[in-house]
Structure 1
């Protein structure tokens, strides 16, 4: 009998997972408590920008021409319980207000609503990023609340989605990790992921704590790599070195690798910052806080980069006040190919300069609406050209392809001063200098 799958939560992770499961051939029923989200997805629209996701939805949501009709949406927990053999929990785990710890209330609420409707054998699969030790507690909670008792099992299957590549990462993951407690749970998940495993994706079977630790460990390692190269950028600034050449040279060592070695204004978004902070908080609860004290410095280096960018801009403008100076900011999202402005270093820098009296105008290919909601007092322009018009300095803060392909000569015609500060070290200095611009990258005083 073909497995039927449900997805609880239709945010960024849930919407992508539901559409991908339908693409893999499963009948999928997705639930969300927010009616507006359901209505939007039923129209084949997404609440966030993610390349390829709307096309995938329309291929499977009922009502579209040529659609498989394998993906439906509901707000009825009883319908979900009766429909599904495997239930994926994809709800958010934000940082608690005023604390480093993770807020588990959405996960707990979802399981408390689902479990009473599990009257037959079922597998509940957690995909949310949670503190280690959560799965053990949640498994007991499900067994107590479900009419099926211990036949309602839990497994943990962390997600490794990169914003901008989420569809690719779900359909063709670089690894699948499953924390299970029975052969049945493992067999069901092997059935779910039969296609990617058949294509060669490694399938790692482990216990609950290890599965929970994989995501936070991976994110901590990536954050460490980013902050390491940013620390090297600080040294390069002091020593007149070039951090981009330094990164290139060490990147040829295959033990180190080239990825995540681009110095700049640091990481942001809804995952890396909150995940490393929650990891530190949980290690403290477990009595292993000394093992992760280095993450505090990683976080500190990262946050320091934003202030360093503001100071670099101040120095480039003569070292005085930002009052009356016009600053163009290219980029609002925390990374390209996304409309996500959560904890965005680009907006943070723009906001700091604005608070210090600068007239800041922002342009971003996809994040304008979200940025405007978060920072309504900043100026916004409909294009890069309009943002740069009349600017005393241009700050490149999100490495969108559109910005790498800009014509420096055309921008030079409208700028008051041809001064560009590259907060992502992603532009070609030679190209900009040939067009008469003063180019300055972070950690590259001589580049």
Structure 2
């Protein structure tokens, strides 16, 4: 099948290469000509494990190409909309300019019988509005909504082997045609009995934001418990282990620490609240405001903890920050809790050295005020405190004895409750973590 993917950022580039891997003839449309050229040359503009290999295979097969010109999408049976929906500046609501611009540009080449498929995360009601526009401008063209569920660090796996597919379909005969077309796109995935949910536009639009809101709530719940643990002397990791054995609760996403960030969870829960307000149902999601507040408080508490272990003042202290991406196996620094903490430490007078295996260049470009070094050893040089803020595997595997020889004071703050506390304490380190007793 001939497929176009409009917008080749993180979502679109992975989707385009994956569709070519599944055997389709794919053109990725990216208005940023430099990014399109980079992808066409087999180079990924972001860090994602396994993606560059997938990109190289797909290009070599001849089934994938990239272009900045929407005219190259002409003749495709299916057009995927994969552009970003960032948070509006100064507001909670999602900025739909890119979705609207992509749809408008696509209308110039769209033909009757072709299917437009939205994958971007949008406020409920967007698909219905775009369907009306598509139907009005190109009678006979159809729109479906097929939300993405990519996890950064696992995007290739999540695209080629998803845990479910969701089709938001139009009513009537068009819905049958759209489903058949999507089944053809995902034929090899459907053949493996991947769960398939057939629904309307509104439900399909809500699936991603509802899922992210649930995960954010679970993370903030255990972080609220961490606040109580600090007040009572309880241990949040043991608490999470105990309640996680209840299969109604589960242990995943119960890791207390610095909280969530990135380009999805924070902006999605805020957009969800904003849209609920527009619909007159804002009271249904007021709890998400506290979820957001708890998440932001963790960053402030981490700075307070750093000040405590530095004898009450950060002025003139050397602090090593291990990890800057919002999560491991990613170079994404959008709304990164780690960088937020690093910046606050510096504002309070600390000399901060930040390191990250993948995000170094992004930090240098977006946070020039921070000192970035290449290795954890460089960051730890004569440090008065070491903060683990992103749980990259190479940091968890550090030798605390050898690492201790580099610092001025063996004080480690585990912002992710991910280090082996007993191992670090046995090596002579003072260990502190959010929601856990000090040693």
Structure 2 length-normalised TM: 0.98
CA–CA distance in 2 between the matches of 1:379 and 1:117? 48
2:165 counterpart of 1:176? yes
1:138 equivalent to 2:130? Answer yes
Q: Tell whether 2:377 aligns with 1:398.
A: no
Structure 1 residue 184, shift from structure 2 partner: 0.4
Q: Quote the Cα distance in structure 2 between the aligned partners of 1:144 and 1:115.
A: 10
SS at match of 2:431: strand
Where has structure 1 moved over 4 Å in runs of 4 or more?
Answer: none
For each residue in 1:236-276, what CA deviation from the matched residue of structure 2 results, as whole angstroms up to 9, or x when unmatched? 00000100000001111111011000000100000000000
Q: Separation in 1 of the partners of 2:137 and 2:31?
A: 20
Please tell me whether the aligned partners of residues 242 and 446 of structure 1 are also in contact (alpha carbons under 8 angstroms): no
Deviations 1:364-421 (A, max 9, x none): 1101111122221222222101100100000000000010000111111010000000
The residue correspondences of 1:74-223 to structure 2 (distance < 5 A) are 74-82=67-75, 84-146=76-138, 149=139, 151-181=140-170, 182-223=175-216
1:19 to 17, 20, 33: 17
Match of 2:4 among 6, 19, 37: 6
Aligned partners of 1:119, 1:177: CA distance in 2, in Å? 25
> In the TM superposition, what is the alpha-carbon distance from 1:446 to its structure 2 partner?
4.8
- Asked if residue 365 in structure 1 is aligned to residue 357 in structure 2, the reply is yes
Deviations 1:23-63 (A, max 9, x none): 111111110111001100011011100001110011011xx
Q: For each residue in 1:413-436, what CA deviation from the matched residue of structure 2 results, as whole angstroms up to 9, or x when unmatched? A: 010000000000000011101111
For the residue of structure 2 that corresponds to 1:360, the secondary structure is strand
Gaps of 5+ in 2: none
Please give the residue correspondences for 1:270-281 in structure 2 after superposition, counting only pairs within 5 Å.
270-281=263-274
- Alpha-carbon contact 1:404-1:426 (below 8 Å) kept: yes
Could you tell me how far 1:145 is from its partner in structure 2? 2.2
CA contact (8 A) 1:241 1:446 kept: no
Contact 1:93 1:104 in 2 (8 A): yes
Matched residue, 2:43: 45
Give 1:64's aligned residue.
Answer: none
Question: Could you say what the CA RMSD is over the residues aligned between the two structures, in angstroms?
Answer: 0.9
Which residue pairs with 2:415 in the alignment?
423
Q: Which residues of structure 1 form unaligned runs of 5+?
A: 62-66
Distance (Å, rounded) in 1 between the aligned partners of 2:225 and 2:297: 13
Task: Name the count of aligned residue pairs.
Answer: 435
